[in-house]
Amino acid sequence: MYDTERISINNINKVFYTNSSQITALKDISLSIGDGEFFCIVGPSGCGKTTLLRILAGLETASSGVTTIKSSQNDRPINSMVFQEQSVFPWMTVIDNVSYGLRMRGIPKKVRNEIAELYINMIGLRNFTHAYPSQLSGGMKQRVSVARAFANDPEVLLMDEPFGALDEQNRLILQQELLRIWEGTQKTTVFITHSIDEALCLGDRIMVMTAHPGMIKAIIDIDLPRPRDIATIRTSLYYNELFQTIWSILRDEVLSNKTSENTII
Amino acid sequence: MARQLNSALFIRVLSVLSPVTLLLLWEILARIHFIDVRLLSSPSLILQSFIPLLLSGELLFNTSVSVQRVLWGFLGGSIPGILLGISMGLSPVVRSAIEPMIAATYPIPKLALMPLILLIFGLGETSKIFTIAIGVFYLVVINTMAGVLNIDKIYLDVAKNFGADRKNFYLTVAFPGALPMIFAGLKLGMGMALILIVAAELSAAKAGIGWMIWRAYDMFDIEQMFVALITLSFLGYIFSLFLDRIEGWVLPWKQQV
């Protein structure tokens, strides 16, 4: 489907040790993600999807296995992450938050502010350029977080349930905005979500994970044309069929996860 | 709306009225000889003592001597306190090396160190400034470290993910993130500095507000003692206003919370 590979993940295992036991969070994860692909990962909570993303981001190390993200230009950062919870710095204004990655790379203030302003306009926060996060709503803060990652212009965008904490209306708006910005840049994106709907609307492929230990259950292609409109997608027959397919895969996992939790208790 | 306005006005009037009432009561009790003016004086007697002290410049001179000691001691304690506190908060190695010493020496009353400090630094300004600096240092270092440790881990992840080096970890995350707690430490430290200045000027000082208090005690001049005490409380008030102003200026992002 894709000419060039951007991310390769080979035999990743991750084991967490506690005082009395060890927990296998990820088991034998191998996959390849193409350049410019929007790749979604869905799984029951606690299946290690966030751990996998943190390994890709370099924030955690795998117990075994290798991940590589191919670099196309030397001066381009490998990855930038959009975090699940509130992660914009409360002590920086919107523009300082958005230009943070550029500042860390030593790009002069004038240049980085120009780039940041571009993305601030794109997310519709022009009037809040010099506002502090405490003046913004939850949805606006998450937009800043998305803009911060895009402005850094990385090889790969890593998104860890970025809209999970938002209310439904805000989530819809942000999903559509993300699609619009992403379709303009075609950045390779790994997007984690617990929502099948979100994965279907955004992704080119969806990987479904098992729970305890986290393994690859299935990888499903989504053949929906781009540019996409979320409202139109949702009413299509194709969307409903895929939703059923994925849910039937996922339901077993969620249920088995529940029973295993019950037996532990 | 009108009721809200009335109650706001009432609260403002009350906050002015209650100290005035207290002063009035004090004066009346002194006039009817219910309290002993030789020990507790009265507002009018204190005012009579205050005016010549102010006009002769003696009060201003002693105040400025004490203020200088407090400021130097405050800076001398808080700057190392902030730097060390941030390092302790960021690095487990530094923390485990330094924290036991701080925990072990913190409970020593700083006044108990005065004789030792006098022996080391002599009777000059240094010993007084150093005493204040030590008292301020502990409060600032402990609060700064707690401030850094309390920074949400997500911000460290963000900094790491966006490629912050060690210097930028300090400048863009640890320092600004700990600033609210650093200010809490600075405010406590300022209170401590005012306590220590009086004690430090007890021994071997020739000027200062604390010295005025002790001289008044020697001369049994209760009025002068009260003048010095009131000046001290006024200084405390000015200092805290000053710190609040700086805090508002340095922490604009805390304003709208």
Domains of chain A by start residue, with CATH: 1-78+154-224 (3.40.50.300), 91-152 (no CATH)
- With a CB-CB cutoff of 8 Å, which residues 29-48 of chain A face chain B? none
pLDDT of residue A260: 58
Smallest Cβ–Cβ distance between B158 and the set A77, A87, A134 belongs to: A87
pLDDT of residue A198: 94
The CA–CA distances, whole Å, from B63 to B57, B218, B233 equal 10, 19, 12
Distance separating alpha carbons of residues A82 and A92, to the nearest angstrom = 17
Share of chain B above pLDDT 70, in %: 97
Write down the pTM of the prediction. Answer: 0.84
Question: Are B154 and A83 in contact (CB < 8 Å)?
Answer: yes
A155, A6 contact by CB (below 8 A)? yes
Instruction: Tell me which chain A residue has its CA closest to the CA of residue B168.
Output: A104
Nearest Cα to A93, choosing from B247, B172, B151? B172
Smallest Cβ–Cβ distance between B163 and the set A77, A85, A90 belongs to: A77
Give A147: exposed, middle or buried? Use CB within 10 Å, 0-12, 13-18, 19+.
buried
* Lowest-confidence pick of A165-169, B49-53, B88-92: A165-169
Q: Which residues pair with A190 in a beta bridge?
A: A39, A158
pLDDT of residue B2: 60
* Lowest-confidence pick of B5-9, B136-140, B248-252: B5-9
B214 pLDDT higher than 70: yes
Q: What is the mean pLDDT of each run of 10 residues along chain A (265 residues)?
A: 83 90 91 94 88 94 93 88 92 97 95 95 93 92 94 95 90 92 92 94 94 90 90 91 93 74 46
Question: Are A104 and B253 in contact (CB < 8 Å)?
Answer: no
Confidence band, pLDDT 50/70/90 cuts, at residue B256: very low
Tokens of B241: 């206003």
Tokens of B188: 């406590």
Instruction: Tell me which chain B residue has its CA closest to the CA of residue A135.
Output: B256
* Lowest-confidence pick of A112-121, A252-261, B7-16, B108-117: A252-261
Question: Are A81 and B164 in contact (CB < 8 Å)?
Answer: no
Note whether A152 contacts B: Cβ–Cβ < 8 A: yes
Helix residue ranges, H only, B32-57: 37-40, 43-55
Q: Per-residue pLDDT tens for B120-148?
A: 998 889 999 999 999 999 999 999 999 99
Confidence band, pLDDT 50/70/90 cuts, at residue B255: low
Distance separating alpha carbons of residues B140 and B196, to the nearest angstrom = 15
Q: Got the DSSP string for A102-166?
A: HHHTT--HHHHHHHHHHHHHHTT-GGGTT--GGGS-HHHHHHHHHHHHHHT--SEEEEESTTTTS
B91 pLDDT higher than 70: yes
